Amino acid sequence: MPERRIYLDNSATTAMAPQVLAAMQPYLNDVYGNASSLHSFGRDAAAALDEAHSVVGCAMGARASEIVFTGCGTESDNLAIRGIALAARRQRGFERGHIISTATEHHAVEATVHQMHELFGFDITMLPVDDAGCVAAADLRRAIRPDTVLASLMLANNEVGTLLPIRTLADLCHEHSVLFHTDAVQAPAYLPLDVNELHVDALALSAHKFYGPKGVGVLYLREGTPYLPTLTGGGHERGRRPGTVNVAGAVGAAAAMKYVMQERIVQAPRLCALRDRMIAGVLERVPYARLSGHPTERLPGHASFLFKDVDGESLLMSLDVEGFAVSTGSACTSGDPEPSPVLTAMGIPRDWALGGLRITLGYHSTEADVDALLETLPMCVDRVRRAALEML
């Protein structure tokens, strides 16, 4: 284990805030009733759950009744896409129906959309993106068909940090009676989220990405949105997500939402400055390096790079040895590295795309952390490049 350890992988997960843990504590032992039970134990749990719905809803300009607690961000995406597309197709009497998304979505969306095609017979269009990962409104407009029921486009890309103009894209969809879902999992720690300003019909979040507990997701479902519960069982969460609700988790998600609403006002500009310091420093010090994602329309705290002729996974391990936790974009299967589909969709050539690195800063990140990485990274890149040359 290295002497110092610096965590720069906040897009993967965040450390739970102490006040979140404190808020959850009573519901992990003392208040253990099932929120569906009618007796006082159940009513105590139900009261906490009601409050959690209100807090999370209020934080996003939504009603408490429009908030559904789920098991994770992936589940929220799955329930939204499957549930809305199937219900809207049935409601509008289409035989097949059509769904629009992009190749740069997180697997939670991308794999679900593909399954909608393979298993449920929907036609799908995966929109192209430019070299910064942006979707053009004109491409979306062209893709919309009379039988398009749903578009799912992410608010902030997890891999390259690019932000999409969700309001514009959602408005365009609504003009053509197309419902709109957004995966906003990466956003709450950094950006204000208002479902009315965004004008979305459904939105997915995950508490562990904003200093809350793991295993708790949030699904916002606008009232009146066609929705078929594709997880079947009891009537929990107003029949939209059956299964005994994780009350402690919901309370934790609500406490985390309160925490980030307070903190992000100060943290977002601070993290933008730290991110820009990181970007400038890396591009200045490391030869054959470039930024991936949009240069300005990107998440605060999110710095992602491409290093030519570098194996991203080896670089990650080299940095790990030096005590830095970061992440890579490429998925390595059985020793055969494949460039990430996100970078491929952005048209990044393979010799750059295999060297993707993501550095994501969080509320605990400091200037000293950034400078320490800037000191070490050039050496690690050089080491990995040399090792690759020696293998030739």
Which residues lie near ligand PLP (CB under 6 A)?
A: 72-74, 77, 106, 108, 154, 158, 183, 185-186, 206, 217
Q: Which residue is closest to ligand PLP by CB?
A: 73
Beta carbon nearer to ligand PLP, 89 or 275:
275
Residue closer to ligand PLP, measured from CB, 161 or 337: 161
Shortest distance, position 139 Cβ to ligand PLP, whole Å: 21
Distance of CA 9 to the CA centre of its chain: 13
Paired sense of beta strands 302-307 and 356-360, if any: antiparallel
Nearer to ligand PLP by C-beta: 60 or 108? Answer: 108
How far apart are the C-alpha atoms of 256 and 213, rounded to whole Å?
8
Known catalytic residues are: 332
Strands (E), 103-253: 123-127, 148-152, 179-183, 202-206, 217-221
Residue 127 backbone zone (phi > 0: left; psi -120 to 50: alpha; other: beta) = beta
Least separation, in Å, of the C-beta of 349 and ligand PLP? 25
Considering beta carbons, is residue 135 or 185 the nearer one to ligand PLP? 185
Least distance in Å: CB of 368 to ligand PLP?
Answer: 27
Q: How far apart are the first and last CA of the chain?
A: 31
In this complex, which beta carbon is closest to ligand PLP, that of residue 230 or of residue 376?
Answer: 230
Which three-class secondary structure state does DSSP give residue 290?
A: strand
H-helix or E-strand spanning residue 381:
helix 367-391
Tokens standing for 240?
């939209």
Residue 260: name the closest of 196, 307, 211, 304 by CA.
211
Question: Going by C-beta distance under 8 Å and a sequence separation of 6 or more, which residues neighbour residue 251?
Answer: 23, 24, 27, 48, 49, 51, 52
Handedness of CA 131, 135, 141, 143 (dihedral sign): positive
| CB 254, min distance to ligand PLP, A | 16
Q: Distance (Å, rounded) from C-alpha 205 to C-alpha 198?
A: 14
CB of 204 to ligand PLP, least distance (A): 7
Q: How far is the CB of 122 from ligand PLP (least distance, A)?
A: 21
Nearer Cβ to ligand PLP (140/154): 154
